Amino acid sequence: MARAPLSLTSKPPLPPPTITPLRHQRSPLTTVRVSATTVTTTAMPDHHPSLEISGGAVDRFLPAFKSLHLPYKPFPIVGWNRHIETIFAAFFRKVPDVRYRRECLRTKDDGTIALDWASDDHRSLPADAPILILLDLVIADENLHIEDKFNVQVGLNPQTVREYDEAITRVALGFNSVDDYYSNSCSCHVIQHVRIPLLCIQAANDPIAPIEGTPREDIKGNPNCMLIVTPQGGHLGWVAGDEAPFGAPWTDNVVMDFLEHLQKAAPISKENSSNAEDVQQGSEDVHQAKV
């Protein structure tokens, strides 16, 4: 059977149209997200996620630290229990070989005043440097005679630190109660007034100075303060780092980085010159009071 020839005006059937999803017609959203991440990372220097770092001075101080990009690794067994770490560091850690010198001065009433200082002080102080006793001994003597206010029996056998402070410490220091003593001796109330660089290091599992008492908001709001929180550490333990378990605590290298950064820092700006003069004057006063 013969087929009719194709007409010159006829067209072959068109294939079904291809529908391209809308998401292929524009740049991927990931580009925007990557760009935003890059900006954030540039503004905030890196640190390892095992450390919590905050404070108003983070942007200023964080680039100075050489080891905060590394994970905090507590020493096995010792570093994973806050009480063991605290006790271990207090009794078994090696300390620098610093020689101390004691001189006993006999007073006219047969009393004795003992003066202790590092024996190397003679290298930086002249031989005729005066010895200053920064105490009002009359008031101290009167304070020791207020025996009826001391609870000596409790003080000799306290069950808690609070019991000892209530029986002895708050009386000796002239506070009406142990809560009054704790409240007025706490530095957390003055963080907002700090005007010179301050580095705070806190262990999250400190059994004596709990992390809940750290004034985080005041530290964040002060442009001179920075806080580093380690996951372990106990109370002044920090048995971690290259020298663990018997060597220097993890904090030593961090503190040295901070101090070296301050030493190399540029001169203080003009608007802070008045604060700098106050600090300098305070340093001179302390220097004159050295033994």
Cross-strand bridge partners of residue 201 = 228
| Digit-coded pLDDT (tens) for 54-71 | 999 999 999 999 999 999
Rounded to two decimals, the pTM is 0.63
Element (H, E) at 258: helix 251-264
The more confident residue out of 155 and 54 is: 54
Give the pLDDT score at 6.
Answer: 46
In this structure, the number of other CB atoms found within 10 A of the CB of residue 228 comes to: 24
Element (H, E) at 104: strand 100-106
Give the pLDDT score at 99.
Answer: 75
Residues 184 and 176 sit within 8 Å (Cβ to Cβ): no
81 pLDDT higher than 60: yes
Give the pLDDT score at 33.
Answer: 41
- Residue 216 is encoded by which pair of tokens? 């985080």
- Residue 46 is encoded by which pair of tokens? 């890196």
Give the pLDDT score at 221.
Answer: 96
pLDDT grade for 261, boundaries at 50, 70 and 90: very high
d(CA 182, CA 158): 18
Residue 228 dihedral angles phi and psi, to the nearest 5°: -120, 125
Taking CB atoms within 8 Å and a gap of at least 24, the contacts of 285-291 are 289/132, 289/134, 290/121, 290/125, 290/129, 291/115, 291/117, 291/121, 291/129, 291/131, 291/132
Domain ranges of the chain: 52-123+147-265
- Residue 206 is encoded by which pair of tokens? 């400190």
Residues 104 and 114 sit within 8 Å (Cβ to Cβ): yes
Q: What is the DSSP letter of 95?
A: -
Give the pLDDT score at 86.
Answer: 96
291 pLDDT higher than 80: no
Cα separations in angstroms, 184 against 62, 106, 140, 192: 32, 35, 20, 16
Give the pLDDT score at 260.
Answer: 94
